[in-house]
Amino acid sequence: MPTLIKDGQVVDNLWCLLEKGVDMNAALSDKAEQIIVPFALWQDHKDTLMESSKKIAVWLDSEDDPYELANDVIDLPLICLNFPVFRDGRAFSAAVILRERLNYQGEIRAIGDVLRDQLCYMKKCGMDSFDLADGVNVENALHAFNDFSTSYMSTMEEPLPLFRRR
Amino acid sequence: MYNYDNYDKQMLQERIVQFRDQTRRFQAGELSTEQFLPLRLQNGLYIQRLAPMLRVAIPYGCLSSRQLRKLASISRDYDKGYAHFSTRQNIQYNWPILEQVPDLLAELAEVEMHAIQTSGNCIRNTTTDQFAGVAVDEIEDSRPWCEIIRQWSSFHPEFAYLPRKFKIAVCGTPNDQAATQVHDIGLYIKKDDNGEIGFQVLVGGGLGRTPVIGATICEFLPWQHLLTYLDAIMRIYNRFGRRDNKYKARIKILVKEIGAEAFREKVEAEWLHDKDGSATLTQDEVERCKGFFTDPDYQELDNTNQAIEDAAASDLLFSHWLERNVAPHKKSGYRIVNLCLKETGVAPGDITDTQMEFVADLADKYSFGEVRVTHEQNLVLTDVRLQDLYVVYKALKTESLATPYLGLINDIVCCPGGDFCSLANAKSIPIAESIQRRFEDFDVQKNIGDITLNISGCMNACGHHHVGNIGILGVDKKGAEFYQVTLGGSSDRDTSLGKVLGPSFAQAEMPDVMEKIINVYLENRQENENFLATYNRIGMEPYKEKVYANAD
Ligand code: SF4
């Protein structure tokens, strides 16, 4: 079973991610019980997906607008944010928007080109699980969350900026 | 000066540990070159033409003498005994060795310095007016606000992988010495009718390939909202700035493409969520930061001094220096002393280890131990007693730091160019030198008067050539180094972008070209008109005619 990092631990990944362009039939006949569907499929078939027997999550690519999930966050146990390449930083803002603006309480997972050296910042932006890119050593990556013990500014980890805590 | 507390120190140490490990993993092959690239850049490290280059942050240009001494010893121990002040108030080492960089950074940390976010696609060192806190006409000291922005922007987790680099300038004086309008965000400090502080917010200014003057998106932002508003701008930029083309990735392109008004609306909509949230600044925090920038122990002194006047009367060079390099101070009996790092034959902005130590000693003795760096690549002693000026002048002379041509044609702003920089199209330092040699005679310079001459070795415009009264840009013409000239730029409160004179020139032609341009000015100027004013009045044609007269 593939693994990922969640809440600071290595756990099994129970979710199956469906690539862009997948159609509804293929999605619903997938043998996995927990599927992560691309944003476009979710937008087009939200009701049908919710009525199916599967557990449904959604993944956003870096250009997708997280605000468009405003009415859906209550239904989604997991939202994934894709890093097409690690230096595309849009998902950092998407995570903040999901947490802060949309008050999303479920799991936010970083997927795609997820490398060790960005993990600490991802967590500070509100992501709480990490599906690491191929080749990244999971055990080593666990240390990355301790890179910085605090932050100057308000973060999802520590909503009070340092100047209100000093 | 701001003093680090345990939080600042801890985060800095954590960063050093982090980068040491990243460097180790890169050398062990665990990180690819591509993966290591943004990590080393966000720690100030470039791989240059001849060696790595390390850019060390000088927050808003303020240095203590202790820090300057450390910069000097580092240049001796890790480099070739000199360093270079950049046009962003930072300092650059041209010859460090990659393996030694973590040690070098640890040494910097001893004096609360670092190279964090001096490069890469993140929020860079915030810059300001070098006279902040001592300028006669200051509305508000910009340094505490810069410090607030420094902290907010340091290790900002959301904005470390922006589409492109991001520069913020703050200006608290009516005479803009910070080139505020050509920054990604420019902040003019204002006071409302009740004396409350606020900011005029400009976005989308910048030089480089597409020079743009920033557009105002907020006329008066009350100070409490500074950080939440900045967060909103950054979030809009991070999400919508172009990532498909490096040359279109700066915020200025986004602002241009959607229009300043649409950009403002997006920011305001985003800001509504954060406004009045926990990141809203508190009076306590502002007071705390202001507490680091209080006046030193000034004495009560007369604002005239007979001995200095006598010295000026008998020592012509000293009187030149007084006139050019010394500026009035808000406090009676004190003056601001500018050190021009533009000695002919030395790369503009370069300084040796011994000069740095010498300046540090002078600062301790005569200026409360503080030094400022200017974006014109000069240094400033902000608080020198009027009565000490002659002693200070004579001391500076012994280290070739008393060149009296601040703001004259030989006070050239110049990027490192093709001698060091791997992005360069052409060399810039030898051009500066050949022009300086042509105008070496001080009387000639003085007769020309106030002028700015800025040189960049490529389109990236680190030498700010677009906003020089005369701008010189190195271009590549079928593999040969050529130079394009622009006229009419300015980074003052009335910022303007220079216009291209015409076809570019070979290196050897440049001194003649400059002389012809200057002659057109001298022949046409009316009483008291400086170079820019004459250009603005007579336009480009006369310069063109003269320079290209015998072109065929
Ligand atoms: S302007 Fe070009 S040549 Fe000069 S320092 Fe910048 S990148 Fe290098």
Q: What is the pLDDT of residues B347-394, one digit of tens each?
A: 999 999 999 999 999 999 999 999 999 999 999 999 999 999 999 999
Whether the pLDDT of residue A158 is over 90: the answer is: yes
- Taking alpha carbons only, the member of B168, B149, B24, B151 closest to residue B98 is B24
Does A93 sit within 8 Å of B238, measured CB to CB?
yes
Q: Which of B155, B274, B285 sits opposite A148 (nearest CB)?
A: B155
**B266 Cβ neighbours under 8 A, 6+ residues apart:** B236, B240, B258
Query: Which token pair is A142?
Result: 């666990």
Query: Are B6-110 and B306-397 in the same CATH fold?
Result: yes
Query: What was the pLDDT predicted at B422?
Result: 87
* Count of all residues that appear for chain A in the document: 166
d(CA B26, CA B252): 34
CB pairs under 8 A between A and B: 104
Q: What is the pLDDT of residue A130?
A: 98
**The pLDDT value given to residue B99:** 84
**Hey, what CATH class is B142-290 in?**
alpha beta
Contacts of A148 in chain B (CB under 8 A): 11, 14-15, 18, 155
User: Picking from B88-102, B225-239, B323-337, which range would have the lowest pLDDT averaged per residue?
Assistant: B88-102
Is B161 in contact with A118 (Cβ distance < 8 A)?
Answer: yes
* Chain B contact present for A153, CB below 8 A: yes
pLDDT band at B47, cuts 50/70/90?
Answer: confident
Query: What's the topology of domain B306-397?
Result: Sulfite Reductase Hemoprotein; domain 2 (3.90.480)
pLDDT, residue B102, reads 84
What three-state secondary structure class fits B527?
A: coil
Which tokens go with B476?
């590549």
Q: Please report where in the chains the tokens 């939200």 appear, as a residue.
A: A46
State the pLDDT at residue A2.
84
Closest CB to B22 among A93, A117, A159: A117
Residue B551 confidence (pLDDT) above 70 = no
- The single residue listed with the structure tokens 């907020």 is B218
Ligand 1 pocket mutation, candidates B462, B465, B466, B481, criterion most atoms within 8 A of CB: B462
Cβ of B346 under 8 Å from any chain A Cβ?
no
ipTM of the complex: 0.97
With both helix axes pointing from N to C terminus, report the angle between B251-258 and B226-240 in degrees, rounded to the nearest 10.
80
Going by pLDDT thresholds of 50, 70 and 90, the confidence category of residue B81 is very high
Q: Is A84 on the interface with B (CB under 8 A)?
A: no
The count of other CB atoms within 10 Å of the CB of residue A16 is: 17
Pairwise CA distance, residues B485 & B261, whole Å: 34
A89 closest CB neighbour out of B10, B22, B160? B160
CATH of domain B413-547: 3.30.413.10
Cβ-defined contact of A93 to B151 (cutoff 8 Å) = no
Percent of residues, chain B, with pLDDT higher than 90: 94
Question: Tell me: the pLDDT tens digits for A27-75?
Answer: 999 999 999 999 999 999 999 999 999 999 999 999 999 999 999 999 9
Ligand 1 pocket residue status of B347, Cβ below 6 Å: no
CA of B454 from ligand 1 middle (Å) equals 12
Q: Is B306 exposed, middle or buried (0-12, 13-18, 19+ CB in 10 A)?
A: exposed
Pairing state of beta strands B470-477 and B480-487?
A: antiparallel
B120: confidence class by pLDDT, cuts 50, 70, 90: very high
Residue A146, token pair as written in the block: 């301790």
Q: In A131-156, which positions are buried (b, 16+ CB within 10 angstroms) versus exposed (e)?
A: bbbeebeeeebbebbebbeebbbbbb
| Distance in Å, CA B420 to ligand 1 centroid | 9
Element (H, E) at B8: helix B6-27
> For the domain A3-164, what is the CATH superfamily, name and number?
Aldolase class I (3.20.20.70)
Does any ligand 1 atom lie closer than 6 A to the CB of residue B86?
Answer: no
B436: contact with A, CB 8 A cutoff: no
Separation of alpha carbons B201 and B226, rounded Å:
10
Q: What whole-number distance in Å separates Cα of residue B160 and Cα of residue B122?
A: 5
Checking if the pLDDT of B552 tops 60, the result is: no
**Nearest Cα residue to B536 out of B465, B487, B478:** B487
Does ligand 1 lie within 6 Å of residue B396's CB atom? Answer: no
State whether CATH 3.90.480.20 applies to domain B6-110: yes
Q: What are phi and psi of B222, to 5 degrees?
A: -55, 140
Ranges of each domain in chain A: 3-164
Task: Find the mean pLDDT for residues B129-146.
Answer: 97
Instruction: Report the SS3 class of residue B199.
Output: strand
d(CA A59, CA B435): 59
In angstroms, the CA B69 to CA B126 distance is 23
Which chain A positions have a beta carbon within 8 Å of B6's beta carbon?
A: none
Type of residue numbered B405:
Y
Residue B217 in tokens: 């998106």
User: Residues with Cβ < 8 Å from B17, sequence gap 6 or more?
Assistant: none
B414-462: pLDDT as tens digits:
999 999 888 999 999 999 999 999 999 999 999 999 999 999 999 999 9
**Which residue ranges make up each domain of chain B?**
6-110, 142-290, 306-397, 413-547
In this complex, the residue of B160, B231, B277 whose CB is nearest that of residue A121 is B160
Both tokens assigned to A63: 């250009």
What integer pLDDT is reported at residue B49 of this predicted model? 66
Q: Is the CB of B423 under 6 A from ligand 1?
A: yes
Is there a contact between B22 and B31 (Cβ–Cβ < 8 Å)? yes
Mean pLDDT of B303-311: 98
A93 at B interface, C-beta within 8 A: yes
- Any chain A CB within 8 A of the CB of B29? no
In this prediction, residue A1 has a pLDDT band, given cuts at 50, 70 and 90, of: confident
- What distance in angstroms lies between residue B340's CA and the mean position of ligand 1's atoms? 21
> Confidence class of residue B50 from pLDDT cuts 50, 70 and 90?
low
Q: Please state, in angstroms and rounded to a whole number, the distance separating the CA atoms of residues B426 and B475.
A: 6
Strand order in the sheet with B168-171: B127-128, B168-171, B185-191, B197-203, B215-222
Q: What's the Cα-to-Cα distance from B376 to each of B22, B129, B269, B453, rounded to whole Å?
A: 34, 11, 38, 10
Q: Is B273 on the interface with A (CB under 8 A)?
A: yes
